[in-house]
Structure 1
Amino acid sequence: MPNTFGLNRSLGGAIGAIALVSVLSSGAVLVTMTQLHDATEALTRSAHVVRGLDAFRTAMLNQETGLRGYLITGRRTSLDPYLSGRSALDETVNRLSALIGHDAELSRMLADASSAARSWQTDIGEAAIRIAADPATRPEAVRIEADGSGKQLFDTFRGKIAAIEAVEETIRVAQNERLALAERNASLALWGGALVTLLICAGIGIAINRLIVRPLGSVMAFVERVGAGDLTGRIAATGRDEIGRLGTTLNTMVAGLADLARTNRSATADLNAAAAQIRASAQEQAASVEEQFAAVQETAATVDQITHSGAQISKRASDVIATAQTSAQNAKAGLRAASDTARAMDSIREQGEAVAGNIVALSEKTQAIGEIISTVNDISERTHLLSLNAAIEAAAAGESGRSFAIVAAEMKLLADQAKAATVQVRAILSEIQRGINSSVMLTEEAVKRAAAGKTRTD
């Protein structure tokens, strides 16, 4: 197979380009999705940190509220907010440490806020609760709680929490910008990939229309013309792809069909001429036979006349002397009749020999016609082989070669008809040959009988 730039390679390259664009756009989308995921996780962490800081602040406020309620009422049930806030503070600090443990600055500020909260619990909360257990020393516990050191510790952890919130707010703003940028990048990647894919698909459509659809339309129109019997056209085969090779093959096939048609027409003309010669020879033979038959009838009539005359001579033998003059005249007339009969017999023999020569020449012409029929039979065999090759080419062409299969079938039908015609002509020639042989035998028999009649006449 020649090295051609096939349609499969063109389509494969186009599909590969689409796949490459799809992979690149998918990679870009994957990168942007990763950025979106990272930004979303960062925003989620910041939200959790902010909620944890609120819980930190709420836990400390609950502890302060429970402590003041206990100092005012002296009931242990008033310490429930304090106790719940203390346990909630421990959980909140642990959760915040896990969330911001990777940031040293935030971890340090969280540690300072936790230290201030722990100092308030130890120095203010626990000390006040312990002293307030005795009613006598409760005023001392109130003084400890109302002292400015507790407010200072509260201001300390509030300041640290506010600083952490400010940092998280900055992070949240940056992550929101990053998230918006990632969304824009994802949108650009998606729309850009879709646009490039559409452009490539449009280019592939145009290329398919130019490289496949239009050439196939030309090939189908050419095949329809060939199917209609027009063998004069040719396809302008261009390119080195499968369609160009198909056009070249079709041109070769149509040229072969045209040559075969010309050969068939020439053979048919020769066969018609030979048949005309056979008809003319048969007509000449029939005319010769009719002339021969007339001569034989004339000879038979003359012989009958001679026989009748001989009978009369026998009857009148007794009157010969009396009618000597008449007998002499009759004898001269009989001699002339005998001479005429001999000449007629010679003419019949010569005509019989001429008829035999004509029949021999006619036999030679029938042999020449047999050779022409053999040539026609060989042509039909070649036509059958060419139709088989055309059918194979049509099968190899697939769907586009269906019309070639019709042409190949018509060629095979023509070859079969030509072969059947040669068989019929051969049978007719056999009949003619047998008739010629019979005519030769009859002519020879007529010549022999004419010779025997001349001998008897002499």
Structure 2
Amino acid sequence: MAGTFGLNRSLGSAIGAIALVSVLSAGAVLVTINQLHEVTEDRARSTRIIRGLNDFRAAMLNQETGLRGYLITGRESSLEPYRAGRAALEETITRLRGLIGQDAEPARLLADAVTAARAWQTKIGETALHSAADPATRPEATRIESDGSGKEFFDTFRARLTAIEAVEENLRAAQNERLLRAESNASVTLWGGTLLTLLICAGIAVAVNRLIVRPLLEVMTFVGRIGDGDLTGRIAVRSRDEIGRLGTTLNAMVGGLADLARTNRSATANLNAAAAEIRAS
């Protein structure tokens, strides 16, 4: 029937609203999860950079310790920390460059630190080792290692590494704030979507009771009265949906039954009158 608002459309709209809220909530949760993932990855990157800076310091300290041990003892085995430190430093520099990437300030600081470390290796480490190999120049090797120029290189790269560490610590503080905000957004989104879904479900329950359950109870009561022979009542039609059309149809049916009953009563009265006239004749 044209112009009616069917129950299927009402229920479909309600179900569609629930589906829309669910999709929007799921989308918001996914966005928040992505934010959490990004923040977690950034924090892990900063942590790895700080560990790499500590490895840088340890590698240089091992080289210095190995060099001093060799200059003191003259034994080749004393150079093991030095050689291990050189290899560890190369690996650490490669790892730090990959972690820092295109970040301008940390990349510049790392380049300065690497330059200072390389200068110490060339001007102090390798020069002292070369001089220490010849007994005649061994005192010169000791002088090179202890004259204080090596400390300047160490102070330079340590200062640069400390500056990078400060940058990463500031980033981690900002990342912690982002993490807290993302967790808060995830909680609000989850609980908000759940609450909104519950409200829609409660509204559907109320609507079903008002649009379907109560009208059907009225129809069942009305049909029961018809079954008992009461053709005088009419059901109130309050909507234009399927149940409203059912009520209109029942009212029309009851009206037709009432007219048929009146016709039957009139025909019966006419028959009774005719029969009485026949008996009188």
For normalisation by structure 1, the TM-score amounts to 0.58
Correspondence for 1:187:
187
Q: Secondary structure at the match of 1:198?
A: helix
Correspondence for 1:112:
112
Amino acid at match of 1:124: I
Q: Within the alignment, does 1:158 sit opposite 2:158 as a pair?
A: yes
- Give, in angstroms, the shift of residue 164 of structure 1: 0.3
How far, CA to CA, are the matches of 2:29 and 2:21 in structure 1? 12
- Give, in angstroms, the shift of residue 260 of structure 1: 2.5
Correspondence for 2:50:
50
How far, CA to CA, are the matches of 1:110 and 1:248 in structure 2? 86
- Give, in angstroms, the shift of residue 217 of structure 1: 1.1
Structure 1 segment 355-370 matched on structure 2, within 5 A: none
Q: Secondary structure at the match of 2:240?
A: coil
- Give, in angstroms, the shift of residue 22 of structure 1: 2.5
How far, CA to CA, are the matches of 2:59 and 2:276 in structure 1? 130
How far, CA to CA, are the matches of 1:197 and 1:215 in structure 2? 26
Structure 1 segment 12-411 matched on structure 2, within 5 A: 12-268=12-268
- Give, in angstroms, the shift of residue 63 of structure 1: 1.0
How far, CA to CA, are the matches of 1:67 and 1:148 in structure 2? 15
How far, CA to CA, are the matches of 2:187 and 2:270 in structure 1? 82
How far, CA to CA, are the matches of 1:273 and 1:137 in structure 2? 155
Amino acid at match of 1:205: A
- Give, in angstroms, the shift of residue 226 of structure 1: 1.6
How far, CA to CA, are the matches of 1:143 and 1:126 in structure 2? 14
How far, CA to CA, are the matches of 2:216 and 2:275 in structure 1? 47
- Give, in angstroms, the shift of residue 136 of structure 1: 3.3
- Give, in angstroms, the shift of residue 128 of structure 1: 1.4
- Give, in angstroms, the shift of residue 126 of structure 1: 1.1
- Give, in angstroms, the shift of residue 227 of structure 1: 2.1
CA deviations on 1:96-127 (whole Å, 9 max, x unpaired) are: 11111221111010000001111111111111
Q: Which moved more, 1:157-166 or 1:253-262?
A: 253-262
Amino acid at match of 2:156: T
Correspondence for 2:2:
2
How far, CA to CA, are the matches of 1:170 and 1:94 in structure 2? 23
In structure 1, runs of 5+ residues without a counterpart are: 285-458
Amino acid at match of 1:154: F
Larger CA Rg, structure 1 vs 2: 1
CA deviations on 1:306-364 (whole Å, 9 max, x unpaired) are: xxxxxxxxxxxxxxxxxxxxxxxxxxxxxxxxxxxxxxxxxxxxxxxxxxxxxxxxxxx
How far, CA to CA, are the matches of 2:76 and 2:222 in structure 1? 108
Amino acid at match of 2:263: T
How far, CA to CA, are the matches of 2:85 and 2:264 in structure 1? 115
How far, CA to CA, are the matches of 1:69 and 1:90 in structure 2? 22
Correspondence for 1:314:
none
- Give, in angstroms, the shift of residue 172 of structure 1: 0.5
How far, CA to CA, are the matches of 1:64 and 1:249 in structure 2? 102
CA deviations on 1:188-239 (whole Å, 9 max, x unpaired) are: 1111222222222222221221111111111111112222322222101122
How far, CA to CA, are the matches of 1:275 and 1:84 in structure 2? 133
CA deviations on 1:82-106 (whole Å, 9 max, x unpaired) are: 1111111111111111111221111
Amino acid at match of 2:143: R
**Please, what is the CA RMSD of the aligned residues?**
2.1
Amino acid at match of 2:203: G
- Give, in angstroms, the shift of residue 34 of structure 1: 2.4
Amino acid at match of 1:109: L
| Alignment: residue pair count | 281
- Give, in angstroms, the shift of residue 275 of structure 1: 7.1
How far, CA to CA, are the matches of 2:41 and 2:179 in structure 1? 10
Amino acid at match of 1:226: I
- Give, in angstroms, the shift of residue 13 of structure 1: 2.2
- Give, in angstroms, the shift of residue 49 of structure 1: 0.5
How far, CA to CA, are the matches of 1:162 and 1:69 in structure 2? 27
With a CA cutoff of 8 Å and minimum separation of 6, indicate the structure with the bigger relative contact order.
2
Amino acid at match of 1:22: S
- Give, in angstroms, the shift of residue 167 of structure 1: 0.5
